[in-house]
Structure 1
Amino acid sequence: MSKNNKPNIAVIAGGDSSEFVVSVKSGANVLKAVDSEKFTPWLVQMQGQKWEVFQNEEKIADVDKSDFSFTLDGEKIKFDFAYISIHGTPGEDGILQGYFELLNIPYSTCNVHSSSLTFNKWFCNNYLRSNGIKMAVSRKFKRGEEINPEAVVEELGLPIFVKPNAGGSSFGITKVKETGQVKEAIEKAWKESEEALVEQFIDGHEFTCGAVRLNGEKVIFPITEVIPNNEFFDFEAKYTPGAAQEITPARLPENLFKECQALTSKIYDLCECSGIVRIDFILQGEEFYFLEVNTTPGMTATSFIPQQIEAMGSTLKSIISQIIEEKLAK
Structure 2
Amino acid sequence: MRISVLVGGPSPEGEGSYTSGDPAAKALAGLGHDVDIIDMLDLEFWKRLHTYDAAFVAGHGWYAEDGKLQGLLEMLRLPYTGSGVLASALGMHKPTFKKLLAAHGLPTLPFAVLRRGMAHDEVEQALNSLEFPLFMKPASSGDSFEAGIIHSVEDIQEILTGEGQYVSQEYLAEPYLQTNTMTVGVLNIAGETRALPVLEAVSKNEFYDNEAKNDPRLTDYRCPAPVPDELAQSMQDMALRVFELCGCYGVGRVDFMMAPDGPVVLELNTVPGMALTGNLATMAAADGISYEQMIETILASGFRRPAVYHP
Structure 2 length-normalised TM:
0.91
* Per-residue CA distance 1:148-181 (angstroms, 9 max, x = gap): 3544566210100111000110100020123431
Deviation at 1:203, TM superposition (A): 4.0
CA pair 327-244 structure 1, distance change in 2 beyond 3 A: closer
* Per-residue CA distance 1:191-227 (angstroms, 9 max, x = gap): 4432111112234332011001122211111111111
Deviation at 1:136, TM superposition (A): 1.2
Q: State the match for 1:128 in structure 2.
A: 101
Deviation at 1:109, TM superposition (A): 1.2
Which range is displaced more, 279-288 or 165-174? 279-288
Match of 2:70 among 97, 100, 104: 97
Within-5 A mapping of 1:110-149: 110-148=83-121, 149=123
Which range is displaced more, 153-162 or 226-235? 153-162
Match of 1:163 among 134, 137, 151: 137
Match of 2:19 among 25, 33, 56: 25
- Does residue 175 of the first structure (1) align with residue 175 of the second (2)? no
Q: State the match for 1:61 in structure 2.
A: none
The secondary structure found in structure 1 opposite 2:220 is strand
Higher strand share: 1
> Is the 1:142–1:195 contact (alpha carbons within 8 Å) kept by the matching residues of 2?
yes
Q: State the match for 2:228 in structure 1.
A: 253
Quick one: distance in 1 between partners of 2:276 and 2:142?
18
Q: State the match for 2:272 in structure 1.
A: 297
Q: State the match for 1:75 in structure 2.
A: none
Within-5 A mapping of 1:184-263: 184-187=158-161, 191-263=166-238
> Is the 2:201–2:222 contact (alpha carbons within 8 Å) kept by the matching residues of 1?
yes
Q: State the match for 1:72 in structure 2.
A: none
Structure 1 length-normalised TM:
0.86
Quick one: distance in 2 between partners of 1:109 and 1:115?
9
Quick one: distance in 1 between partners of 2:105 and 2:31?
45
Using CA pairs under 8 Å that are at least 6 residues apart, name the structure with larger relative contact order, 1 or 2. 2
Ranges in structure 2 where 5+ consecutive residues have no aligned partner: 306-311
Q: CA RMSD in A?
A: 2.0
> Is the 2:250–2:302 contact (alpha carbons within 8 Å) kept by the matching residues of 1?
no
Match of 1:266 among 227, 235, 241: 241
Deviation at 1:87, TM superposition (A): 0.6
CA pair 179-67 structure 1, distance change in 2 beyond 3 A: closer
Q: State the match for 2:4 in structure 1.
A: 10
Quick one: distance in 2 between partners of 1:215 and 1:12?
23
Paired residues in the alignment total 303
Q: Which amino acid is the alignment partner of residue 81 of structure 2?
A: S
Quick one: distance in 1 between partners of 2:31 and 2:143?
33
CA pair 126-315 structure 1, distance change in 2 beyond 3 A: same
Quick one: distance in 2 between partners of 1:220 and 1:35?
27
Quick one: distance in 1 between partners of 2:128 and 2:231?
33
> Is the 1:171–1:192 contact (alpha carbons within 8 Å) kept by the matching residues of 2?
no
> Is the 2:4–2:49 contact (alpha carbons within 8 Å) kept by the matching residues of 1?
no
* Per-residue CA distance 1:125-161 (angstroms, 9 max, x = gap): 1011101111111111233233435445662101001
> Is the 1:153–1:179 contact (alpha carbons within 8 Å) kept by the matching residues of 2?
no
CA pair 153-142 structure 1, distance change in 2 beyond 3 A: closer
* Per-residue CA distance 1:244-284 (angstroms, 9 max, x = gap): 22211100111101111111111111111112211110012
Q: Which amino acid is the alignment partner of residue 106 of structure 1?
A: P
The secondary structure found in structure 1 opposite 2:302 is helix
The secondary structure found in structure 2 opposite 1:108 is coil
CA pair 205-323 structure 1, distance change in 2 beyond 3 A: closer
Quick one: distance in 2 between partners of 1:326 and 1:298?
17
Q: State the match for 1:54 in structure 2.
A: none
Ranges in structure 1 where 5+ consecutive residues have no aligned partner: 1-6, 52-64, 70-77
Q: State the match for 2:49 in structure 1.
A: 68
